[in-house]
């Protein structure tokens, strides 16, 4: 699961409910649960996660490539992110591909974002750098996302269904970036981000997505990101639904790594 599912909760409570729900890993969100500049806190959080029998799948950072534009400040922020990720024991860092929609990103802004993403990848060592798949960034449209990934060797991406996009179109988008995907954020918003439904509300979408992920034979993390009402009481049922889709998808192929 993603800890941002429950931003107000203390990390110890998140670890407890994740374990009780039978989940396997946690993507810790930097905005609520990992304090940049506090290496000891990140280390304790990673240790507590593993002590509960869970793994840390990623640091969900809010580092936006190209923002700020000052290279020294950008380097300083990125060093803090990497220090936190290493202390946490996170094998992956989630970053954001700028702060502008692809249609409104001019050549200079795009170049700055891509150059910064390349610096992130080059400096991360054995930590995977993967972009959030989100509106208002260079991953808001499949063509833009693919172009970005082509231009930054080693960069990976997350995937999630774009808000309001029909199931078949969303799954087709996943297929287009499938060989670049290392994780998916699992939630059921329909038709808008204000309409947060139980996971089974979009069963067709998630069954198709899990089947596609399983077909790769690779480890791809499937992480619950949001639940209706931000209710901790929903987690066990939503986790059971996700596990069912993962199991159904596995067949004779390795399943997506789930549920988390």
| Mean pLDDT, rounded, for 142-146 | 98
CA distances from 86 to 76, 148, 155, 211, 213 (A): 16, 26, 18, 32, 27
Side-chain-side CA neighbours of residue 215 (13 Å): 10
For residue 202, give the DSSP letter.
G
pLDDT for 82-129, tens place per residue? 999 999 999 999 999 999 999 999 999 999 999 999 999 999 999 999
Give the separation between CA 212 and CA 189, rounded to whole angstroms.
Answer: 20
pLDDT band at residue 258, thresholds of 50, 70 and 90? low
Tell me the pLDDT of the chain averaged across its residues.
96
CATH number for the domain whose boundaries are 3-250: 3.20.20.150
**Given CA atoms 210, 212, 214, 216 in this order, what sign does their dihedral have?**
negative
pLDDT band at residue 170, thresholds of 50, 70 and 90? very high
Give the separation between CA 40 and CA 19, rounded to whole angstroms.
Answer: 23
Say if residue 255's pLDDT is above 80: no
- Which pLDDT belongs to residue 86? 98
- Our CA dihedral for 8, 38, 182, 144, rounded to 10 degrees, sits at 90
Give the separation between CA 48 and CA 104, rounded to whole angstroms.
Answer: 43
Residue of 117, 137, 138 whose CA lies nearest to 129: 117
pLDDT for 10-28, tens place per residue? 999 999 999 999 999 999 9
| Structure token digits, residue 29 | 């969100």
Side-chain-side CA neighbours of residue 114 (13 Å): 19
- Which pLDDT belongs to residue 259? 65
Say if residue 149's pLDDT is above 60: yes
Residue of 188, 157, 189 whose CA lies nearest to 173: 157
């Amino acid at each position: 699961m993603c800890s941002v599912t429950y931003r107000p909760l203390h990390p110890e409570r998140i670890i407890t409910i994740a374990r009780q729900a039978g989940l396997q890993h946690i993507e810790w969100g930097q905005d609520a649960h990992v304090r940049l500049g506090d290496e000891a806190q990140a280390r304790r959080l990673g240790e507590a996660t593993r002590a509960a029998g869970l793994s840390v799948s990623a640091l969900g950072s809010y580092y936006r490539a190209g923002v700020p534009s000052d290279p020294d400040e950008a380097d300083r922020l990125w060093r803090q992110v990497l220090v936190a990720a290493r202390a946490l024991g996170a094998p992956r860092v989630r970053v954001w591909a700028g702060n502008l929609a692809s249609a409104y990103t001019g050549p200079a802004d795009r170049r700055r974002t891509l150059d910064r993403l390349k610096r992130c990848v080059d400096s991360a060592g054995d930590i995977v750098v993967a972009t959030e798949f989100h509106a208002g960034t260079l991953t808001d449209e499949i063509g833009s996302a693919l172009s970005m990934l082509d231009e930054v060797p080693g960069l990976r991406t997350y995937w999630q269904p774009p808000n309001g996009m029909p199931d078949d179109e969303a799954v087709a988008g996943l297929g287009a970036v499938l060989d670049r995907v290392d994780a998916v954020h699992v939630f059921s918003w329909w038709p808008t981000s204000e309409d947060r439904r139980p996971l089974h509300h979009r069963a067709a979408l998630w069954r198709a997505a899990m089947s596609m992920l399983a077909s790769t034979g690779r480890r791809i993390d499937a992480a619950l990101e949001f639940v209706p009402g931000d209710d901790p009481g929903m987690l066990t049922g939503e986790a059971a639904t996700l596990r069912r889709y993962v199991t159904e998808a596995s067949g004779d192929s390795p399943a997506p790594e789930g549920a988390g």
